[in-house]
Amino acid sequence: MISRILVVLAVAATLLFIGCAKPPEMEITAASTAMQTLREAEAELYIPQDYKMAMDTLNAANAAKTEADGKFALFRSYKTAKNLYVSAETLAKSATEKARAEKERVRMAVMAMLEQATVRLGEADTALAKAPVGKGNKAEIELIKTELAAVRTALDDAKRDTDTGKYLVAQSKLKSVMDRTARVQQELATATAKKTGGKK
């Protein structure tokens, strides 16, 4: 009787070990899918720290699985790997929503910057057209015309980046456009003052 009980316990223990020895395929697939969605949301660009946390957790899960793979079947357990895959999936899903929200925030900011930069450049063009040109400031005015043309090209580049969804790139370019436009306006005021002798 005792021997039968021992056999039953041994069989149960073996089945338990075998159950633990199976890789958590469902969790692996779920985590991988969530990470792919996270990449598509451009989380690495918009929320790099959250992306890194999810990626580090997935890497830890893969390492735990690899370690379990190398053990003898009766002593193999994927419990740690399974838990890490579940955590990686959870982190990835949460980060995906956060990345999408941040991308939308940047998009809205870029649209506002684009409108502002366009207005400022238009104001600079108008001021240039009205600026008096003569012997005292002709060279400066020509340089300003060249710079404004370059700024206009940069603005067009930023518009293209915006149209293709490269909002962070566009944001950086638009900041440069507005800074350059402000400098041009200051240079134009200085050049105009030279021609008029500082009189309005």
**Residue 157 lies in domain:** 103-196
Question: Do 28 and 96 reside in the same domain of the chain?
Answer: yes
Question: In the prediction, which pLDDT does 11 show?
Answer: 47
> Do 95 and 113 fall into the same domain?
no
Q: Could you tell me which residues come within 8 angstroms of residue 78 by beta carbon, excluding any fewer than 6 positions away?
A: 20, 21, 22, 23, 24, 64, 65, 68
Would you state the pLDDT for residue 10? 52
Domain boundary among 55, 78, 102: 102
Q: 84, 102, 120: which is the final residue of a domain?
A: 102
**Shared domain check, 98 and 15:** yes
For the stretch 114-163, pLDDT in tens is 999 999 999 999 998 888 887 777 888 889 999 999 999 999 999 999 99
Q: Are 28 and 58 members of one domain?
A: yes
Q: Are residues 86 and 158 in the same domain?
A: no
Threshold 0.85, pTM exceeds: no
Domain count, the chain: 2
Residue, of 66 and 136, whose pLDDT is higher: 66
